[in-house]
A and B are shown apart, each in its own frame.
Chain A
Amino acid sequence: MLVVHEFSIAEALATQVLRHAPPGRRVREVEIRVGAMRGLEPDAMQMCWDAVTHETALAGSVLVMDMRPWSLACPACGRVWESPVLFAECSCGEVSPRPTAGDELDLVSMTVDEDDDEAAATATGGEAGAS
């Protein structure tokens, strides 16, 4: 198997999600935000997530990745824009815009099943989540 850092990250993420997940509630979706600086490959990350969560409580959960782009700043005309690639020419012709990007790698949210009591309360017109 090809060893990639996405695998370690997927393992760390799975541990983290299980720590935060309310007991007994199935996790349907996990959302992360990834700065372009991280160089994370979405396909590799998805594959690693599926492998890491296989036959665990997180099996079948969907990994949603918010891939943040590069920000390029043109030293000639001052234009700042978002770009999926690191090196790009500015519309003014300048060939060396300065790239910056975040290196964030954050768990943003998880979506879990409502528990049975809440679901029942909702179905009968009660207030979901009311204590």
Chain B
Amino acid sequence: MSEPVKTTRIPIVERVLEANDQLAEAVRADLERRGIFAIDLIGAPGSGKTALLEATLRALKGRRRPAVLVGDLATRRDGDRLARWCDRVVQISTGEGCHLEAGQVRDALTQLDLEGVDVLFIENVGNLICPVGFDLGQTVKVGLFSLTEGDDKAAKHPYLVTAADLILLNKIDLAPHLSFDRGGFEADVRLLNANVPILAVSATSGQGLDEWLAWIDGRSKMANSGATP
């Protein structure tokens, strides 16, 4: 019988996503230097991420200079929809990837003319779990939920709720037709993230969009002055 193999344990302690985090920090520094407020928009498939961005870009015409990165598994449809409202849109096809990573954002940004841009929307891949742990170099994370998904989705996705700087509750115009327990949803959010603002919006009726735009304006001013909320 052969001798058991002798082994040595080597302690390390290093973040597993260190490489992504370093790329994200470089993206963040570049965006800050250019004065660009970057929003990582995270929500489930069908929650209305693209519809919300369409309405947002339409409303921002003449007010801000936006650019958009849009992550999608396979198609160019989201990018094509958004290109109607904004001339600086880059589609990132992730193939089988369930989330965007910092390297993809860095590469996509090289395809954009960022001169004069003051707000960057990054539409993440439709997914409430995978994108949260991957820093993209964004200024803020926005978690988008919608009434049609059900009122338990905040409780089931604690990482997103905890990490979010803003919670949007979309499709609020459908409230009369659905038995969505808004109080319960907001209580779950509050339990995980006591001070996060929650805005009810409708990308289709336009309800709540003014508050959403005011939040973007307020937080960008804060970011540019170096203040923290």
Interface residues of A (CB under 8 A from B): 1, 3-5, 8-9, 12-13, 15-16, 20, 22, 28-29, 32, 37-39, 86-87, 96, 98-99, 101, 103-114, 118-119, 122-123, 128-129
Contact = CB atoms under 8 A, between A and B. Distances in A.
B16 A113 contact: no
A109 B10 contact: yes
A109 B11 contact: yes
Instruction: Give the interface SS of chain B, mostly helix, strand, loop or mixed.
Output: mixed
Contacts of B155: 86-87
Nearest to A40: B133
B171 to A, nearest CB: 25
A106 B10 contact: no
A39 B12 contact: no
Contacts of B8: 111-114, 118, 129
27 contacts: A3-B97, A4-B98, A4-B130, A8-B97, A12-B17, A20-B14, A28-B5, A32-B16, A37-B158, A39-B157, A39-B158, A96-B187, A98-B191, A99-B191, A103-B133, A103-B162, A105-B15, A105-B17, A106-B15, A107-B15, A109-B9, A109-B12, A110-B12, A111-B8, A113-B6, A113-B7, A128-B6
B6 to A, nearest CB: 4
A29 B96 CA distance: 29
A122 B155 CA distance: 54
A106 B187 CA distance: 31
Nearest to B125: A3
B113 interface: no
A5 B130 contact: yes
**Chain B contact residues (Cβ within 8 angstroms of A): what range?**
35 or more
B6 A39 contact: no
Given A39-B158, A106-B14, A114-B8, A5 B98 contact: yes
Contact of B10 (A8, A37, A112): A112
Given A38-B159, A86-B158, A113-B5, A108 B13 contact: yes
B40 to A, nearest CB: 15
B159 A111 contact: no
Contacts of A119: 5-6
A15 B17 CA distance: 10
Given A107-B13, A112-B10, A119-B6, 4 more contacts: A37-B162, A96-B187, A111-B9, A114-B8
Contact of B99 (A8, A12, A106): A8
Contact of B101 (A8, A108, A110, A118): A8
Nearest to B133: A38
Nearest to B18: A16
Contacts of A9: 16-17, 133
B96 A1 contact: yes
A91 B10 CA distance: 42
B115 interface: no
Contacts of A96: 187, 191
